[in-house]
Amino acid sequence: MKFKYIISLFVIVGLFSCTDDFTDLAPISERNAGNFYNTAGDMEVAVNAIYNTLKSSGCYNQSYWVMQELRSDNTFWDATGLAEEITIFDSFEEITTSVITRDAWRASYQGIARANIVLNRIDPIQMDAGLKNQYIGEALFLRSLYYYHLAVAFGNVPLVLTETTSVEEGKEHVQVNAATVYAQLVTDLTTAESNLPPSYNSSNLGRATKGAAATLLAKVQLTLGEKGAAQTTLGRVMGYGYDLVDNYADLWGEDNEYNEESIFEVDFQGGLINQGNNFTSAFNGDLAGAVTSGLRNIPEEDLLDDYEAGDERLAASIAGTALPTTGWTIKYGTTNPFNDDDAPNNWVVFRYADVLLMMAEALGEGTTAYGHINDVRDRAGLGPIDASTPGTFEEKLLRERRVELAFENHRWADLLRFGVAESVMSAQGKPINGRLLFAIPQSEIDLNSNLVQNSGY
């Protein structure tokens, strides 16, 4: 049974809606706030609201996969008309008024604003000390997750760590460099890991755990080049009880959610309650209608080429390759939902295979690192690799990450972290033209004159 952060949606909408389009702010309604943040139950609703933002179109329901998968060498999307504004993210031709980047910025800052409300208001509330620490840990983890996406996508962004209560206050926010954001995340995620439990009972599956906080912390440390620190952090994750599932295909589908490999998932729920996802139908050619019209996030041919003969991950990840197409992803569901935006399949944000591959990255080439890579390969039905296998260690590891984690919103960040985004995309015939970062949404610059546009736009 999943924990439910949908019960109080009407309350959440009233308490956390913006009074202005300036989403850097997300000011709360003062009329409601004074009467609300008084009890442990109020805090539970407030924390659940932070989770709820993850399911928005600006986050995991659309913008994040466009900016992490479609942007990369993994996928493409052919379309004309209104959809062309999105498809050109794949060719580095998007415009500064794109709805995708605008929604990602606004939704991420909405989640951050909700987290700041909890962190600002929870201290004086009388409640169980352990539960209070848990809520603080959840808020810090979720705020860090939003900031991680913002820093990877936009680089220099405003770092807002306190509750914003007015539009004018928000217009004074200034950007800091990405390294400063990541340094803050190291501090926050260390506290979050300390505060959070290692697991929950069945009615609270989906909440952030120690493993979730530590996994994101390690990813941030690797981004900062702090490989020794990442080794230590990943060692803790490996001691939290996760393991690879026996069969790669058993990672996917509604019946396999929250398995022993899962570290953190975004919880979507069908049933016409406005909590389902739209990517199940959008990605799957059996559900999206004609391949030439509805299908999105289509695998690139050279992604298919990176799957070795006998790799069991291919059939579990991609279907339709026998047709005159490179197929479509099936990781996110094969059952047709009642509506296109009502699929119940979760988005797996972190899982244990990623941890093993990050540990290999942190260790660098050597017997132990290849051992972690080969654990992942063995599950896929492949033989081991070692230093004698052709290619550099980084090339082999990046390829393994590509096929293991395809379509899971890791590829663009991986290309940036490994320092190969420009060379990889140019080799695919898609020169970046200086656009390693996305454009700061023009609507945000119009509202806040302190914001400086990224180069290339």
Query: Which pLDDT score is estimated for 34?
Result: 60
Domain contains 242: no
The residue type at 268? F
Residue 188: give the domain boundaries.
1-196
Distance in angstroms (rounded) separating the CA atoms of residues 142 and 344: 21
Domain contains 130: yes
Q: For residue 324, is pLDDT > 80?
A: no
Domain contains 12: yes
CB proximity list for 450: less than 8 A, separation 6 or greater: 171, 172, 173, 174, 175
* Residue 310, Cβ density class (10 Å: 0-12 exposed, 13-18 middle, ≥19 buried): exposed
Domain contains 389: no
Question: What pLDDT, in 10s, does the model give residues 5-21?
Answer: 543 333 333 344 333 44
> How far apart, in Å, are the Cα atoms of 353 and each of 372, 402, 428?
9, 12, 27
Domain contains 190: yes
DSSP secondary structure, 137-199, as one string? HHHHHHHHHHHHHHHHHHSSEE---S----HHHHTT--EE-HHHHHHHHHHHHHHHHHHS-S-
Q: For residue 311, is pLDDT > 90?
A: yes
Q: For residue 33, is pLDDT > 50?
A: yes
Domain contains 363: no
Q: For residue 68, is pLDDT > 90?
A: yes
* Domain count of the fold of the chain: 1
Tell me the angle at which helices 367-379 and 393-404 cross, rounded to the nearest 10 degrees: 30
Question: What pLDDT, in 10s, does the model give residues 115-157?
Answer: 999 999 999 999 999 999 999 999 999 999 999 999 999 999 9
Q: For residue 22, is pLDDT > 60?
A: no
pTM to 2 decimal places: 0.93
Domain contains 403: no
- Looking up residue 32, the CATH number of its domain turns out to be 1.25.40.390
Domain contains 441: no
> How far apart, in Å, are the Cα atoms of 89 and each of 92, 99, 329, 435?
5, 11, 19, 11
Query: What is the mean predicted confidence (pLDDT) over 408-415?
Result: 98
